[in-house]
Amino acid sequence: MCVADLGDELIRCLDDDAIEGVLEEQGDLVSFRTFQKQPEWRGRATEEQLRRFKGTGSGRKIRTAALLVGALDLTHVPRPLDRVFAHV
């Protein structure tokens, strides 16, 4: 599978409940639900929807990324992210 960026890895290592919890925490869950109902995005994987949704609001990518990192189970980090964390 082609990986667009490390943000994709971050999204993939969290389950839908964790992602939705992050969106709720930042007050974006209702907006995300509305986004998911749009014909273009209806029925797609949550990963795809979130990847696009993150880019729909000013500053949303950076806010969401920080919260997604906070939601990670650091004992199950995918290898690409683990490599990045090793250098930080």
Residue 41, classed as helix, strand or coil, is coil
Percent of the chain with pLDDT strictly greater than 90: 28
Report whether 65 contacts 7 (CB < 8 A). yes
Composition of the chain by helix, strand, coil, percent to 5: 60, 0, 40
Would you state the structure tokens that stand for residue 23, as one six-digit string?
């969106």
Sequence spans of domains, the chain: 6-87
Task: Report, as an integer, the average pLDDT of 24-28.
Answer: 92
Q: pLDDT tens, 39-68?
A: 999 999 888 898 899 888 888 888 888 888
Average pLDDT, the chain: 84
Whether the per-residue pLDDT at 19 is higher than 70: the answer is: yes
